[in-house]
Amino acid sequence: NEIFTNIQMQLKEELDEKRYEHTIGVMYTAASLAMRYGVMMHQAILAGLLHDCAKAIPNDEKLELCKKYGIIVSDVERENPSLLHAKLGAYIAREKYGVMDDEVLHAIYVHTTGEPGMSTLDKILFVADYIEPNRDSQPNLEYVRKIAFWDLNQAMEGILYDTLEYLKKSDKQIDSMTQKTYEYYASTKE
Ligand code: DGI
Ligand code: FE
Ligand code: FE
Ligand code: FE
């Protein structure tokens, strides 16, 4: 599809090589999960491709752009502006890359902290971001990779557990949304 090819070419300009490789890895992994869970392939591919499109923007510029675009910034986000690449990414995906699919934009919007009650597409992107082939060294990665194709909610719980452990260990501020999302997926047994 030539739309996807054009986006890939633009992203190659914008992202450093490692981030670009990660992006392609997330795209294919999201596509595989879409096959498993009956989500539209083109939504998973678009979300995977564009999820980190705001990642290369310097943090001070991220804050300026949020102000300019009317994105409300919480205290935790102000002190940890890299969190904002998700919300800003959704905005840029729409304004710069012309994505009009609100389900895709929402998946990008929540891909870093998650949120309670995510859609299947949201969860596919969140999980693909963590398990794509270029990732390594996260604890429980092999477990999450295996369980992702069996039970998406259990994969969410595993990822969020590891993320919270990592944040506590490295003395990083926890966004209340990350905590709420963990609690939601640790208790949901659908
Ligand atoms: O952009 P990626 O690195 O591909 O992945 P991502 O958007 O899921 O971001 C992962 C990073 O975000 C990881 O280093 C942990 C961090 N993060 C997730 N939740 C929180 C958080 N950082 C802080 N300070 N607080 C959070 O609640
Ligand atoms: Fe990201
Ligand atoms: Fe993520
Ligand atoms: Fe990512």
DSSP assignment string, 35-76? HHHT--HHHHHHHHHHTTTTTTS-HHHHHHHHHHHT----HH
Select from 83, 112, 126 the residue to mutate for testing ligand 1; criterion: most ligand atoms less than 8 Å from CB.
112
Classify residue 125: in a domain, yes or no.
yes
Residue 175 in contact with ligand 1 by CB distance below 6 A: yes
Classify residue 147: in a domain, yes or no.
no
Residue 23 in contact with ligand 1 by CB distance below 6 A: no
Question: Which CATH number goes with the domain that contains 95?
Answer: 1.10.3210.10
For 66-100, the pLDDT digits (tens) are 999 999 999 999 999 999 999 999 999 999 999 99
Domain span including residue 100: 2-138
| The two structure tokens encoding residue 102 | 């609100």
Percent of the chain with pLDDT over 90: 95
Classify residue 155: in a domain, yes or no.
no
Report the number of distinct structural domains present in the chain: 1
pLDDT for 190 beyond 70: no
Classify residue 21: in a domain, yes or no.
yes
Nearest to 52 by CA among 91, 23, 82, 28: 23
**Cα–Cα distance measured from residue 53 to residue 99, given in angstroms and rounded to the nearest whole number:** 12
pTM above 0.95, yes or no: yes
11 dihedral zone (left: phi>0; alpha: psi -120 to 50; beta): alpha
Classify residue 186: in a domain, yes or no.
no
For 91-145, the pLDDT digits (tens) are 999 999 999 999 999 999 999 999 999 999 999 999 999 999 999 988 899 999 9
Residue 129 in contact with ligand 1 by CB distance below 6 A: yes
